[in-house]
Amino acid sequence: MTCRKALLFGLNYVNDPSCRLDGCINDANNVRSLLVDHLGYQADDIMMCTDSTPIKPTKVMMQRLLRELVLSTHRLQINQIFISYSGHGMNVGTEQKDNAIVPVDFRSNGVITDYELAALIRQVHPRTDVIMLMDACHSGSMCNLPYVYSVDKFVQDESLSVSCRALLVSGCRDDQVSQEADLDGDKRETGMATDAFINAISENNYDVTCVNLIMYMNAYMQKHNFPQRPQLSSSRMLSETCIFVSSAEDGRPFFCL
């Protein structure tokens, strides 16, 4: 029996007007609907952590939830985990070459760096596939995975060794910002990358390769005149025919790396 777990973060920073966002909680809810309604996830196996949930996305809580999810891959026979983050991202480090995600209490407790995220991914059980969606500024290499899809091929970018199969869909390159918009005119903003991700899967009838996914997402940005360019990185070299979402014999779509 397939066992899947998901952890979805949506940070609008409702108590910090200077960095307030409007669409990130919507992103988390939309991803949850995609997973439950179309991709075989059970509602009870999805943890939501947003400004509007009882469990708030503080630094300590985000670290704890990520760590518990990783540890659960060793205690349980988990085939797949899905992690999404919609919120602020930033460049950090002495030369601003490292990346970080930004908890709601970052002003007092700091950020979560890409090196910390990469260390967590390295601890996932080898049997477990990891799929991540990062809809944040400067998120291109957020988990430092070793292979990045660029110019119609995967190229080795880092020397990180990861035993599990991991895939990261980033909302933009490291030098870009991710944006949100109200494309439907219903006064309900969403992150452009999350919107493109969901559309890439649904518009292809839940049957799409990894390469076609990222190509569709980039075309979606160009169609709507947004400069950000989503990226795809992986723990392993992937062929251009590697399936991202497909349908089982009973017709139900699922993630498959």
Rounded Cα–Cα distance for residues 76 and 129 (Å): 13
The pLDDT assigned to 231 comes to 94
What domain count does the chain have? 1
The active-site residue out of 24, 49, 88, 172 is 88
DSSP class per residue in 94-119:
TTS-EEEE--TTHHHH--EEHHHHHH
Structure tokens at 33: 């609907």
Each residue's pLDDT tens digit, 159-207: 567 889 999 999 999 999 999 988 777 768 999 999 999 999 999 999 9
Sign of the C-alpha dihedral, residues 218, 197, 22, 134? negative
Q: How confident is the model at residue 238 (pLDDT cuts 50, 70, 90)?
A: confident
Q: Residue 96: what pLDDT?
A: 62
Question: Catalytic one among 24, 49, 137, 210?
Answer: 137
pLDDT score recorded for residue 250:
55
- The pLDDT assigned to 159 comes to 55
Cβ contact 109:103 at 8 Å? yes
What CATH number does residue 81 fall under? 3.40.50.12660
Using one digit for the tens of pLDDT, what is the confidence trace for 84-104? Answer: 999 999 998 766 678 999 999
Residue 249 clears pLDDT 60, i.e. is over it: no
The sheet with strand 253-255 has its strands ordered as 208-209, 243-247, 253-255
CA distances (Å), origin 70, targets 61, 112, 122, 170? 14, 16, 9, 20
Query: What DSSP assignment string belongs to 161-229?
Result: --SS-EEEEESS-TTS---EE-TTSSS--EEHHHHHHHHHHHTTTT-EEHHHHHHHHHHHHHHTT----
Q: Does the active-site annotation cover 88?
A: yes
Domain extent, residue 22, equals 4-255
- Average pLDDT, integer, range 41-58: 98
187/130: higher pLDDT: 130
Q: How confident is the model at residue 233 (pLDDT cuts 50, 70, 90)?
A: very high
The pLDDT assigned to 2 comes to: 76
User: Strand, coil or helix: what is 66?
Assistant: helix
Whether 164 is catalytic is: no
pLDDT at 1: 64
* Cβ neighbours of 22 (radius 10 Å): 17
The rounded percent of the chain whose pLDDT value lies above 70 is 90
The model's pLDDT over 52-87, given as tens digits with 9 standing for 90+, comes to 999 999 999 999 999 999 999 999 999 999 999 999
Residue 58, Cβ neighbours under 10 Å: how many?
16
Show the CA angle centred on residue 77, arms to residues 68 and 49, nearest 5°: 30
